[in-house]
Amino acid sequence: MEVTFRIWRQDNPTNKGGFINYVVDDLAEDMSFLEALDHLNEILVLRNEKVVAFEYDCREGICGQCGIFINGRAHGPHSNITTCQLYMRSFKDGAIITVEPWRAKSFPILKDLIVDRSAFDRIIEHGGYISAKTGTAPEANAILIGKGVSDKAMDAAACIGCGACVATCKNSSAALFTAAKINHLNSLPQGKPEAHQRVLDMTTQMEKEGFGHCSFTGACEVECPEGISIANIAEMNARYFKAKIFG
């Protein structure tokens, strides 16, 4: 199949970027989208041009490193997948595919399609953990956790930190990401002692990083590869309110 990739090229954070078109005519439908970009890059090398910089690692939908805005949607035309799980069979022969980096002020562009998502790490740094020093744990079954509670914590914990929620949000809000981590830890008995402080610290850092506020459009949960529900944000807000009163 033949497609035209219309790709955002930007050499470094300060240079002005722009779209460049690349026609690739020998793609197969069962190639993944990232493999199609690999293929384009091999062509570019042989043409003595710089390759398109894009991110990936595991290529099985779990590491969260890949993330491209494709035809105006985070991770491409399907809901709830990562970019590496997108296959060329999702496009028509002859299609023009617009390929952009995540767009958010808090995720500055480093080069081409690569952005800096270290803001997420800093949110985790501010309370996205349980203070449990190695060697201090009690016997695991000494604290019982009902299957319902544990399953719900797991639903929230499933976040892979790809940033699609931010990229797709019109406010570039990191509310879904932050809420998922808060709810994962705060719903478990082990997370309770630091629960209030965690909500306050993590949300403060989230704002400090320049992410926008949530206005409940629900766009994030459509693109989240792990299908994390927007209900998590409402729960975070409730926890925030409680922490303000009782914390």
Partner 1 sequence: MIIDAKIPEGKLEEKWRNYQRKSKLINPANKKKLNVIVVGSGLSGAGAAATLAELGYEVQCFCYQDSARRAHSVAAQGGINAAKNYQHDGDSVWRMFYDTLKGGDFRSREANTYRLAELSAPLIDHYTQQGVPFAREYGGVLANRSFGGVQVQRTFYARGQTGQQLLLAAYSQLYKMIRAKKVRMFTRHEMLDLVVIDGKAKGIIARDLVNGHLKRFVADAVVLATGGYSRVFRLSTLAIGCNGSAIWKAHKRGAFFAAPSFTQIHPTALPQTSEAQSKLTLMSESLRNDGRIWVPKKKGDLRKANNIPEKERDYYLERKYPSFGNLAPRDIASRAAKERIDAGHGVGRLKNAVYLDFKHAIENAGLHTIKDRYANLFTMYKKITGIDAYQEPMQISPAAHFSMGGLWVDYELMTTIPGLYAIGECNFSDHGANRLGANSLLQASVDGYFILPNTINNYLAQELTEAPISIDHPMFTKIEKEIKEHISKIFAVAGTKTVDHFHRALGKIMWQECAMSRNKLGLEKAITQINSIKEAFWADVKVTGHNDEINTELEKALRLADFIELAVLMCTDALQRAESCGAHFREEFQTAEGEAVRMDEEYAYVSAWEYKRGSFQLHKEKLAFEFVKPSVRSYK
Q: Which of residues 33-72 bind partner 1 (CB under 8 A)?
A: 34-35, 38-39, 41-42, 44-46, 48-51, 53-65
From 121-129, 168-176, 214-222, 235-243, span contacting partner 1 (CB under 8 A) = 121-129
From 24-32, 171-179, 210-218, 229-237, span contacting partner 1 (CB under 8 A) = 24-32
Minimum distance, C-beta of residue 216 to partner 1, in the bound complex (Å) = 26
Reference 159, options 179, 186, 189; nearest CA is: 179
Q: Please tell me whether residue 76 binds partner 1 under the rule CB under 8 A.
A: no
Q: Please tell me whether residue 118 binds partner 1 under the rule CB under 8 A.
A: yes
Separation CA 153–CA 17 (nearest Å):
41
Minimum distance, C-beta of residue 214 to partner 1, in the bound complex (Å) = 23
Distances (CA, A) of 238 to 33, 81, 166, 176, 234: 40, 29, 21, 14, 6
Beta carbon nearer to partner 1, 4 or 90: 90
Q: Please tell me whether residue 190 binds partner 1 under the rule CB under 8 A.
A: yes
Consecutive H or E run containing 4? strand 3-9
Reference 184, options 246, 130, 118; nearest CA is: 130
Which residues ranging from 137 to 166 are in contact with partner 1 (CB under 8 A)? 137-141, 143-147, 150-151, 153-154, 157-158, 160-161
Torsion angle of the four alpha carbons 50, 54, 59, 60, in this order, in degrees rounded to the nearest 10: -160
β pairing state of 73-74 and 69-70:
antiparallel
Which residues ranging from 193 to 212 are in contact with partner 1 (CB under 8 A)? none
DSSP conformational letter for 135: T
Separation CA 133–CA 179 (nearest Å):
24
Minimum distance, C-beta of residue 231 to partner 1, in the bound complex (Å) = 17
Q: Please tell me whether residue 131 binds partner 1 under the rule CB under 8 A.
A: yes
Q: Please tell me whether residue 102 binds partner 1 under the rule CB under 8 A.
A: no
